[in-house]
Structures are given as C-alpha cells and as structure tokens.
Structure 1
Amino acid sequence: MTDAPQTVLTVDDEPSLTELYAAWLADAYEVRQANDAAAALDAVASDFDPDVVLLDRQMPETTGDELLDTLRAEGVDCPVVMVTAVDPEFDVVSMPFDDYLVKPVGRDEVTRTVEASLTRETYDEQVRDYFALARKRAVLEASTAVTEVHDHPAYRELRRELDRVSRTADRTRDDLLRRERPFEHD
C-alpha cells in the first residue's frame, strides 16, 4: 500500500483557471493541468492515473462533452466533474459525468466537490466489497449444513469481515449524506 497523494486532472482551455484550481488543490492532491483535449488524453495515456477530473465543457476544437466521451471510451472511470460556464440543460442527463459546477466557482466549492467525489468513489468500492462478501456467505449457507457453516473458522472470519465492511460503508454513507445535504443533519 502506498501513501501517494490522490490525483486530480484539471482540463480547461484557460490556463489561468487550471493554474488556479491547481493552486487550490495542491496542498492535498497531486494535480496535473491540461489546456486542451490532446494534453488531457496525453496525461491519462502516460503514467498519470487521475482519481478525479475537473473538466470544462466549452473548449475549442474538442469540446468537454466530446472529451468526456473519449475519456470514458479509453477506460477512465474515475469521477469527472464538469466545471463550466454552461448552465445545465436536459442534455446532461445522458452525459457520463459525476458532478457539475457552474462558473464562477470558488475554492471551497471546488475543494468540497473533489472531496465528495472521492468519498463517493470510496463508498462505491465499499458497497461492492460488501455485496461480494454477502454473496460468499449466501453461497456457503445454501450449500453447506448450517451447523458446519457456523462452526467453521473461515465462515466466522467472513461474518466478521462482512460486519466490518458494513459498518465502514454505513459511516461513509452518513458522511456523504452530511456533505450532500448538510441542512438535514444539523
């Protein structure tokens, strides 16, 4: 396991904005900047594997919408946050992004959105782990005598791990709900 910082790719045709986002995030994340689609694709094709992408929709040559589709087609499955001056319309329903910020944006909004995106990603992994463990438990319980299952050390360890993952996912879910809907948790 590594203690490497989580990574953010900022993509905007205005260098002053990618530099600003990088300055806001640099204390907590490794940030790479790209000012067009080609530079963004080069970044993900190299050794840079972003944990979050901040992506402008309105860029010359290749739009953010087109770049988003290309990133997904290339297997980039991290959260993508659209950061754009374009007010959302119904076309966003079919777009594979994870969050949407309308410019102008401030430091707190960008930072909170990156943090929330990473927390949601962690929660997704925890839920996958939970269901994988639950499925193993169900398979064992369906195919083995009840007393034999409950007495086996591997089954007891599976139950402990399932309980641990469940508690962790519950805490992460509660944290997400507080972030997403703080007014309901005060």
Structure 2
Amino acid sequence: MTDDRYTVLVVDDDEDVVDLFEGWLSDQYTVKTATDGENALTELEGVDVALLDRRLPTCSGDHVAAEIERRDGDCMTAIISGVEPDTDIVHISCGEYLVKPIGKTELLDTVERLRQRARYDDRLAECANLAAKRGALEASNPRAELERDPEYVGLCRRIDELRAELDDLTRTFDAEDFQAAFETPDFRGGSRIQQVGWLS
C-alpha cells in the first residue's frame, strides 16, 4: 500500500456492506471504514472520497455529508443508500446518489467519476487564477515585451497545459449534457458556445 493512493471512506451501519465495499476498493485505494456517523467524522482526515449510507446510528449520513462539505471542500461524497431519492436530496451535500444494491463495477466507476471531478475542479481553479494574472500583466504591459519575458511565457505555457488537461478530463464524463455543463472555458477571452442537449 503506497502513501500516494487515494483514500476512500466507507460508512454503513451494515458491517457486511462495509466489508464488501472495502474488499472491492482495497486493490486500488486506501480504505477507511466506519459503521456510525460519529466514527465517520473522526475518520475524515486525508479522505478523498466518502461513501455514505443515509441511515446511520449516532448521526445521519446527510449530517456527515454536510460536515464534510463544511470542513473540507476537497473531499468528494457519494450517498449509497437503500432510501429512494426524493426532492430532499437537493439539500444533501453529495456528488452522487446511488440506491442499493449496487455492484462492484458501479462502485468503482462512481469513485473514479468523483476523483475526476475533483481533479477537474482543482485544475479549473488553477487555470482561472493564472488567467487572471495573465490578464493583469497584459493590461499593464506591451505584449511584445511580455513575449520576451520567460516568466510570462511560462505562465502562458502552463495555462495551455491546464486547458488541454481540462479538455481531456471533460471527455471522461459519461453523459453529453454532463460534459457540456463542465465544458472548459476559453481562458483567452473569446466566447465559447456549446449546445447543451437537454436545452434543445
């Protein structure tokens, strides 16, 4: 087990479910487990993805998801529950909602989707920050001078690398409307129009 592996927290009051999910995930990820809400909250440090049942002893999965969002915006959350979703899920802090029973492939695919979304968010934030710096430089300095400056050239190169990575990541999203919703912005200032399937 290597320290650089993603860490997944599995939380369910059914120990058989915890053991099953841990077995499915442990080949690819470091896995932490808990069988109630309070213990889940003590296991959050270093967690990249949390898989939560809604009905937990001590405090609900909904509460744990809200606490994860409050404490650590970098941890992605999925609810995996026997409770069918209702409109109340609008108020739950989660990136996925799955109804039990689920299989190994669906579980692994869900974790990978959440990882890709987290990576997208990180790269998008970095790209936006660098683009703002480039905009400030270009507003105050002649372009010809900037293009001779290694720092500016490196900044532009990094933005291009990030944009390419963001485009690659959007291709991993599995629905056309989902991909369109996450379409990489054009950080060069031009408009970028994408027809979204669910609007047509």
In the superposition, the TM-score normalised over structure 2's length comes to 0.82
CA contact (8 A) 2:49 2:111 kept: yes
CA distance in 2, matches of 1:76, 1:160: 28
Specify the code of the residue in structure 1 equivalent to 2:76: P
CA distance in 2, matches of 1:77, 1:181: 20
Structure 2 partner of 1:109: 106
- TM-fit CA distance, 1:25: 0.3
Structure 1 partner of 2:41: 41
Q: Which has the higher contact order (CA 8 A, sep 6+)?
A: 1
Give the root-mean-square deviation of aligned CA atoms: 2.1
Q: Which runs of 5+ in 2 are unaligned?
A: 180-200
- TM-fit CA distance, 1:178: 6.4
The alignment of Structure 1 onto Structure 2 pairs a total of residues equal to 178
CA distance in 1, matches of 2:158, 2:67: 38
CA distance in 2, matches of 1:164, 1:181: 23
- TM-fit CA distance, 1:91: 0.8
In structure 2, do the counterparts of structure 1 residues 74 and 58 end up closer, same or farther at CA, with 3 Å as the change threshold?
same
Range with bigger deviation, 99-108 or 141-150: 141-150
In structure 2, do the counterparts of structure 1 residues 179 and 101 end up closer, same or farther at CA, with 3 Å as the change threshold?
farther
CA distance in 1, matches of 2:177, 2:104: 17
User: Which secondary structure does the structure 1 equivalent of 2:43 belong to?
Assistant: helix
Are residues 1:175 and 2:169 paired? no
CA distance in 1, matches of 2:23, 2:173: 25
Structure 2 partner of 1:86: 83
- TM-fit CA distance, 1:179: 9.7
Specify the code of the residue in structure 2 equivalent to 1:35: T
More helix, by proportion: 1
Range with bigger deviation, 8-17 or 127-136: 127-136
Specify the code of the residue in structure 1 equivalent to 2:14: E
Q: Which runs of 5+ in 1 are unaligned?
A: none
In the superposition, the TM-score normalised over structure 1's length comes to 0.88
Specify the code of the residue in structure 2 equivalent to 1:121: A
Structure 1 partner of 2:92: 95
- TM-fit CA distance, 1:146: 2.2
Q: Deviations over 1:110-133 (max 9, x none)?
A: 000000100110011111111111
CA distance in 1, matches of 2:72, 2:120: 20
Structure 1 partner of 2:63: 66
Structure 1 partner of 2:117: 120
